[in-house]
Structure 1
Amino acid sequence: MKYLSLIFLCFIALFRVAAQTPKISELKELYATTASDSVQVQTLINLINEYIGHNPDSLAYFAQKLDTHPGKDKNRNGQKSVNVAYAMYYYDKAEFDSSIVYIDKNIEISIAQGDSVGISSNLTNASIVLIGQSKYQTAIEYLLRALAIQEGNEKFAPKFVANTYNVISMAYHNMKNFETAQEYQWKALNVYKANAMETDLIRSYTNLGSNFLAMNKNDSAMYYFGVGLSLSRKNKDERKLAELSRMIGDLYLKEQKYDSAQFHYENSLQYFGDNKSTKEVTEAMVGLGTVYFEKGNYPRAYEMHKQAKDLFADRGDELETSRTLWLMSKDLQKLGRYEDAYQAIAESKTLSDTLQAKNSADAIAEMQVKYETEKKEKDLALQGVQLSAQELELNRQELLRNVAIAGALLLGVVALLIFQIKSRSNKTITAQNELLGKSLSEREALLKEIHHRVKNNLQIIASLLYLQSDESENLDAKRLLEEGQGRVRSMALIHQKLYENDDLKHIPFDEYLNELIGEIKLSFGDMAKDVALEVEAKNIFFDVDTAVPLGLIINELSTNAFKYAYTQRMGGGVFKVVLQHEEGAYHLTVSDNGSGIPDELMHATQSASLGLKLTRMLSDQLEGDYRFSNSNGTTFELKFAV
């Protein structure tokens, strides 16, 4: 996955003015009718801002207009806007070297102006190009330098810093360091939430979904894609609707749900409309072509793959052109066009070969020739020695052969008798085993499907609770809905673990707890970043009847801890969960070293806290003995039998 949509964030941050820019049609009319050079220049800058990330060709057109305008140099941001537009245009065309030339020009301008915002922004932009060249570690070094300038500097709006978090997340994602990528993405998400930046929230939810998809957590990916899709519809953001539809199509294709994949790919292309110049559109075409292939519609598969190949080739993307040619060859084979299929394979291989270093290929070929030559020389030398030895060996082998034939005949008669006896019983046993195996497989498949559907339904409920909380202006209602969403997701995770596990009756609780508490910690962002997690539950397995109430108890206690326990503590926070099986009973201990629960709440029979009520009620449901204590934080202990 690539977060290509992030590229324009830092470019735009340089030149957005405080007031909302007019619509594109109004800007074009203003440019055509005004006689003022300064107004024309500012209008061209505003048009460039509007087209960044949307239409590369229009972006380049207005950049050229601004570059040749006589009043450009009188505007502080005139030349910067030109450089940004060309950098973005070449980046979208995957011409990274040309893109970075224009970024370097802006770095020089920013240094000359003493502009810390410009320096930081262009460090970020350079890192994005480095990411495009797969130079991820160098990109991260640039980004951390930019972040050091931004954090705590009043010149940088919260959105600017959040955008840098986003790009750092992108770099770690592409290095396959998904956990660190997730941490930075949560940082960005929390800033966007706190400042009600819905457009940026959509991007952040999209990136979270992409990260989960790369981690093969398809259900979490679908959840965040779904939230992003809902917000995109609300904001009528057709580009994000197109991008998210394409990503959901990729997810369904991965799960071999071809009808659903086709629906979302077609939606993606419809949202993109006539704008067929971006890589995202081309990737949607590739996905749709693959769906057609899997459904047996080979003419449509070939048509889609050929269009995608032509677009990749126009952009000079040799790697993707080669990959798509290979897909076309499969389409052509199914259509019976074997000569064309061979030609497509040959073109694909030629392109692939050009991407590899020629010296490496020559060296490998030279080593292969040398190896074959030496091997032949050794074979000839051995043949001379072996000829004399072969004559003696033939005489010895003839004697052994005669003895072996006689022995083999005797053994054959005995083996035939044994085989006839065993074959009759083996046929009966095999038939019975096949019948039992088939019944067991069908039962397991049915149970997995049931758990999968239960989990999907719970995910839908969680999504509805999220959307309702997002619409609510009542803070108490919003908080209750968010807490309900967390409880539903903890139950959904249990059913997910059941259908992912080979044992459909028992959940590996150590794995479940690490994922549950880890997700809860990430959702609190900076509030919980310095809290260390310690989970001990090795070789503990529960069925769904025990796992659900126990998971909800731990969900309540961990949520309360991250929300309240560490607010007055500066570092050194520890949240610990220990679950052990001793003397026929299970012992659960959940503790934190925070500020503790007030005594009047802990010992009240009718607690004002719904979380504490639920904890007590669920402990009773497990028929367990429990107690709370305040000693260097809060400790909850539960003893129960299963």
Structure 2
Amino acid sequence: MAKKLGIILYFYFAFAALSGFAQDLDPLDNDALLKFQNAESVSDRFSFFFETVNRYNTNSAYDWLDAVERYIKSAENGGDSLAVKKYKLIQSQIYFDLGDYDRSVAVATKIYSEKHKLDKPAKELLLNILDDNYSRLELYDKQVEIRKKKRELGFKNNISFYDIYSNLGFHRQAMKDYIMDNKNEFEDNDYYGRAIYHNSIGNFLLLDKTTSTALTNFSKAKGLIDVYHNDMSVVKTESDIINANLLKGIIEGNIGKCYLQMGQFEEAIPYLETSISIIEENNIGRTSTEVNENVLALAECHLRLNRLNIAKDYLDIDLELTKPSQIIKKNRLYAVYYDRIGDFKNQAMYLKENVRIRDSLEINQSSIKTQQIATIIAEENLEDSRRQISLQKLEMEQTRSDMAAMDERTNLVFISLIFTLLGFAGLVFAYLKSIKNQRLIAEQKHIIENALVEKDSLLKEIHHRVKNNLQMVSSLLSLQTKNTRSKAAIEALEEGKSRVKAMALIHQKLYQNDDLSVIEMQGYIESLVNSVQSVFKKGGHSINITIDAEGVELDIDRAIPFGLILNELVSNSFKYAFPEDKNNGKIYIHLRKNGDQGYFEYTDNGIGLPDDSEERANSSMGIRLMNRLVNQLQSNLNIDKTTEGVRFWFNFK
């Protein structure tokens, strides 16, 4: 994901990563691909893949694709045709998750020709994959055929045509039919189902530009999904929780798009940003059309608010856009941006590109749409004259909409010609305006310098807030310690609090520095050691601590794991190295960095490591944590027993 989206999501995911840090210590627990490969049979692997929601959490979809292709070749060599079909069905789903809908539907279509050899659950999965692909590719007539086959086979899920009606532009008709078929289907305590119901109605209304009513329905849906999350009487699986989170993210985005349509751009932005964060967190490894739409909506909000640099950052994100409507919208926003900055050449280029796309679509759009509508009408058996007349009216409305779109295209062509002429006229006067341009460059330089100052201030504020949030976590751990009687639990909470303080100190040093990219390590280490001393309050004044890190600076990616390593080492020295609180205790901390290479050494003259230290290292959370953190620094932790005490050291890049 590009830079701007990364900035938006960084802190959200950083906190999520910290909260799940303990689980991450053992990657085998979360390695879905390894569990998939260790399954005993084809059926076990097939079931595991489709039942695992966060299957791309540890390994990417491309890793899965490589593994599945090996299984396909093995099954083909062994002549197991049923295994080949099941593995290819998994392959088709992975291609869909990657957004490669053409390859996904190509693989699934080959399986479809021999679907009679599959059991009922596998048939339903195959039909659902084809259904989803045809929807993304806007092949609605083929989508109708798939749903007809679902009905024939007795499947109950996703067999209606509301979404297809809406995709063809008949939003009101789709909403009326949806309400008629679903309004009495949900129990009062079915909060999740009712949230889906109100979100679906809101979608139809949003597409129909009935924005205020749509917002009311989205607000109801948001309240219902929050109740569902907080309802402790219902046992929820991991899949239930992730699907509910995704629905909440989609609803948040829909609310943001409502505010965008109503011109309330400041109100729209936090909803759209929250939506992207939630969907990205719960849709790992999959392409999301909702994220694409929300990014474009954020770009439009910032353009309307004249925040051109932020809008450009969002537009420059490399989105995997598959729908022509999204590509046209992105080009339109680029054209607006270049109009605002006076770059009429680039503006004309994007406007012409949209004209080309619209021309290309209009060549076959009318006949294809007529064919798709005819397929739906035949399938729905519209002998009822009221419904037939209603559809004809909707088709007439769509025709008028198409005519309006054609007028808009003509206007765009005219506007592009005008701006082209203006561009040529600007070249004639370029020499006369050279002095004015120099003045403009100086002003722009001043604006850029001010923007950089503002950016530094914002980054410092962000680091300050992160530090405050981590201090709040530390305070919460302290409160939990007071309410805990178990000595082991208290020690674990104190260790967690010490690690949180080490990370908080990093962010404190960052917002206190003039240079936000690096941290001066001498002062940081001194502050960290003082913090550990204040926690243990034993022998602090009788232990001589020497810190040799003058002039060493590390970026935040290295400083955080380094700080956690040092926190573990100093804490262990205070806890175990000097049990009798002897007066000649010494700790030596040495850190040096020469170019891209660095060296760290930590020694104390305490009682040293026990004889079974290697066995304890395998079971000790602290040693395992330090090994993981040193691995992040692309190195290995070395431990040497000395005549007095112990020595830890490693080289890093």
Structure of greater relative contact order (alpha carbons < 8 Å, 6+ residues apart): 2
**Normalised TM-score (structure 2):** 0.42
Determine which structure has more spread, i.e. the larger CA radius of gyration.
Answer: 1
